[in-house]
Amino acid sequence: GAAEKGNYPHFMLKEIFEQPETVENAIRGRLDHEMASAILSGIGLSPRELLQIGHIVIAGCGSSMHAGLVGEYYFEDLAGISTSVEQAAEFRYRNPIIEPNTLVIPISQSGETADTIAAVREAAAKGAIVTALCNVVGSTIAREAGRGIYLHAGPEISVASTKAFLSQVVVLLLFALLLGRNRRLSRSRGAELVAEIEQIPDLIREVLEQALEIKKIASRYAHVDDFFFIGRGCLYPTALEGALKLKEISYIHAEGYHAAELKHGPISLLDEKHPVMALANDIPGRDKILGNIQECRARKAPVVAIATRGDRAIRDLTQDVIEIPPCSRFVAPLPTAVALQLFAYYIAAERGCEIDQPRNLAKSVTVE
């Protein structure tokens, strides 16, 4: 009802603005300053059992899969554990390789997505250790997995996932920190990460403070038919998520690409009618994205750039810059995703779309 939306016109906007608190909820009680690590009791695995994990398989759909793709960077880089991300729909048909030391992490906001439930059952039947990331307490996936980590994002009403996605990414970072400290990650690197994680709610607040500026930029792009989103590293799955948000609520055709893939095909489409959203935060790979922006501009494609505050070189390439506070590459997907959510939201609002209930979509897809 209207009351639950408070002063917001849509649940989506309310949920976007809740994110400093929902991320705080995802972190609360889960940082271990003493050990420069994370505490995740729900995973139900002892340090010795954690040490035995040889491979991680993440399974999910839509935004939950995108969160998993960010997590892949975390687990491989921080914990040194090879990780693969499966479309949950494909998991049981691919005959996945599950060894006794494989950890399967199903990710689902609702815990009721049919394909992800099927992946959990297949993983369990093959003897995998299963630890689920769910938002809805007592949901089918949470129950069947037996162990897991709750997201604590509160009810997500908008069909487009926002706060659950952010909590998924945060919980994956905590999990990777724990696995990393259990293995090769030094105490000092762990302490740095703990400090960075604690800053995330403030980073999000700083992005939310720019909502009006993002709305202004969005209004200049509300009438386009197509959009490309490009990124590298952890910002590559963030680009996929940004494109999904835009297409699902505004009905604009949007595609997320790894920035390096542009020249393997899609660049042939670029012209003044094909704008590009470039995730150009000042993290490793930023200089290459700068080159990609130049390539887009040379083909007259309008570019919106997400950049770290004060990045003059990017301002020289395009006037449409959304500024993100400085942060490390592992944390960057979070404030960046918030900027992309607002961008998609304001475009859809300007187009008069049914934002909370886009046509043809259900909040949770309970059929195969």
Residues forming contacts to ligand AGP in the complex (CB under 6 A) are 61-64, 108-110, 113, 116, 159-161, 248, 364-365
Cβ contact 340:245 at 8 Å = yes
Residue 153 neighbours by CB distance under 10 Å: 27
Q: Which candidate, 179, 195, 287, places its Cα nearest to that of 233?
A: 287
Nearer to ligand AGP, 36 or 150 (CB): 150
Provide, rounded to whole angstroms, the least separation between the CB of residue 158 and ligand AGP.
Answer: 8
The gap from C-alpha 268 to its chain's centroid, in whole angstroms, comes to 28
Provide, rounded to whole angstroms, the least separation between the CB of residue 115 and ligand AGP.
Answer: 8
Burial class (CB in 10 A: 0-12, 13-18, 19+), 55: middle
Within 8 A by CB and 6+ apart from 338, the residues are 16, 19, 166, 204, 207, 208
Provide, rounded to whole angstroms, the least separation between the CB of residue 234 and ligand AGP.
Answer: 18
Nearer to ligand AGP, 79 or 160 (CB): 160
Provide, rounded to whole angstroms, the least separation between the CB of residue 123 and ligand AGP.
Answer: 15
- Tokens standing for 317? 């390439």
Cβ contact 79:85 at 8 Å = no
Provide, rounded to whole angstroms, the least separation between the CB of residue 46 and ligand AGP.
Answer: 29
SS (H, E, C) 35-59: CCEECCHHHCCCHHHHHCCCEEEEE
- Tokens standing for 33? 């300053």
Cα 166 from Cα 153, distance rounded (Å): 9
Provide, rounded to whole angstroms, the least separation between the CB of residue 47 and ligand AGP.
Answer: 29
Local structure of 83: helix, strand or coil = strand
Provide, rounded to whole angstroms, the least separation between the CB of residue 162 and ligand AGP.
Answer: 8
Residue nearest ligand AGP, CB atom distance: 62
Nearer to ligand AGP, 143 or 189 (CB): 143
Q: How far apart are the first and last CA of the chain?
A: 30
Angle at 261 between CA 296 and CA 207, to 5 degrees: 65
Nearer to ligand AGP, 212 or 367 (CB): 367
Provide, rounded to whole angstroms, the least separation between the CB of residue 159 and ligand AGP.
Answer: 5
Within 8 A by CB and 6+ apart from 202, the residues are 20
Nearer to ligand AGP, 116 or 336 (CB): 116
Nearer to ligand AGP, 153 or 197 (CB): 153
Nearer to ligand AGP, 19 or 113 (CB): 113
Orientation of helix 235-250 relative to helix 62-74, angle to 10°: 170
Provide, rounded to whole angstroms, the least separation between the CB of residue 45 and ligand AGP.
Answer: 23
Nearer to ligand AGP, 328 or 364 (CB): 364
Give the largest Cα separation in the chain, rounded.
57
Nearer to ligand AGP, 161 or 250 (CB): 161
Cα 196 from Cα 202, distance rounded (Å): 10
